[in-house]
Structure 1
Amino acid sequence: MKFKIEKHLLKKADELAFITIKNDGEFQIEGYNIPNVGLDVPIKNDVLVKGIKEKTAQENINAMSIADAMIFIMGIDSKFKNNEEYKKFLNAFKDKVKVDLKAYMGYMSRKYFDIGEYTDSLIYLKAMITMNPNDVDGLYHYAIVCQEIAKQYQKDMDNEGMNNFLLEALLKLEMVTEIEPDFSLAYYHLGYHYYNQGQYIKSRSIWNEALKLGIDADLGAEIQENIGKMDFKIQYEEGYNLVFQGRNEEGLEKLRPLEEDHSDWWNLLFMIGLAYKNMNEIEEAKKYFEKILIIKPHQVDAIVEIGLCEAATFNMERAIEHFETAAKIKEDPEILCNLGMAYLNNGELDDAIYYIERAYELDPEDEITISCLKELNKYTK
Structure 2
Amino acid sequence: MANRNTETLEDRIGKYLVGHLDTYIFDELSENFLKKNGFDDILTGVPVPVNKKELTKLSIKSLAVNMAVVIGCDVNFQHRDNYIEFIIRNYTKDFAKFLVGEGIDSATKNGYLYACILFRAAFLIDHENADAIYCYGRACKDCYEAGDSEEYVGLFKAEALEAFEKVTLKKPDFDMGFYFLGYGYLNLGMYVKAKLTFESFLKLSANEEMKEEVSQWIIKLKEPVKIEAGYNMVVSGRFQEGIDTLIPYTENENFNKWWPLWHYLGVANKELGYLEMAEGYFLNVLKLSPSNLESMDELVKVYDAMGNSEKAEKYRTKISVIKGNMEKDKALALEEVKQ
TM-score (normalizing by structure 2): 0.80
Partner amino acid for 2:72?
A: G
Q: How far apart, CA to CA, are the structure 2 residues paired with 1:115 and 1:199?
A: 32
Q: How far apart, CA to CA, are the structure 1 residues paired with 2:296 and 2:80?
A: 52
Pair 304,165 (structure 1): closer, same or farther in 2 beyond 3 Å? closer
- What 5-or-longer segments of structure 1 have no aligned partner? 49-56, 333-381
Alignment deviations for residues 123-151 of structure 1 (CA, whole Å, 9 cap, x no partner): 11111110101111111101111111223
Q: How far apart, CA to CA, are the structure 1 residues paired with 2:47 and 2:13?
A: 25
What residue is the counterpart of 2:218 in the other structure? Answer: 227
SS in structure 2 of the partner of residue 330 of structure 1: helix
Equivalences, count = 310
- 1:179 aligns to 2:170 (yes or no): yes
Pair 180,287 (structure 1): closer, same or farther in 2 beyond 3 Å? same
SS in structure 2 of the partner of residue 80 of structure 1: coil
Alignment deviations for residues 51-72 of structure 1 (CA, whole Å, 9 cap, x no partner): xxxxxx2xx2223222221222
Pair 272,76 (structure 1): closer, same or farther in 2 beyond 3 Å? closer
What residue is the counterpart of 1:5 in the other structure? Answer: 13
What residue is the counterpart of 1:280 in the other structure? Answer: 273
Partner amino acid for 1:274?
A: V
How far apart are residue 220 of structure 1 and its match? 1.7
SS in structure 1 of the partner of residue 251 of structure 2: coil
Give the alignment partner of residue 41 of structure 1, picking from 48, 59, 79: 48
Q: How far apart, CA to CA, are the structure 1 residues paired with 2:52 and 2:159?
A: 29
Give the alignment partner of residue 102 of structure 1, picking from 90, 96, 103: 96
CA-based RMSD of the aligned residues comes to 2.8
Task: Judge conservation of contact 2:96–2:123 (CA < 8 Å) in 1.
Answer: no
Give the alignment partner of residue 84 of structure 1, picking from 81, 94, 106: 81
Task: Judge conservation of contact 1:70–1:86 (CA < 8 Å) in 2.
Answer: yes
What residue is the counterpart of 2:119 in the other structure? Answer: 125
- What 5-or-longer segments of structure 2 have no aligned partner? 1-8, 322-339
Give the alignment partner of residue 112 of structure 1, picking from 90, 106, 109: 106
Q: Residues 308-347 of structure 1 correspond to what in structure 2 (within 5 A)?
A: 308-313=301-306, 316=307, 319-331=308-320
Considering Cα pairs closer than 8 Å and 6+ residues apart, tell me whether 1 or 2 has the greater RCO.
2
Task: Judge conservation of contact 1:5–1:164 (CA < 8 Å) in 2.
Answer: yes
SS in structure 1 of the partner of residue 252 of structure 2: coil
What residue is the counterpart of 1:23 in the other structure? Answer: 31
Q: How far apart, CA to CA, are the structure 1 residues paired with 2:121 and 2:47?
A: 19
Task: Judge conservation of contact 1:23–1:38 (CA < 8 Å) in 2.
Answer: no
TM-score (normalizing by structure 1): 0.72
Give the alignment partner of residue 129 of structure 2, picking from 135, 157, 162: 135
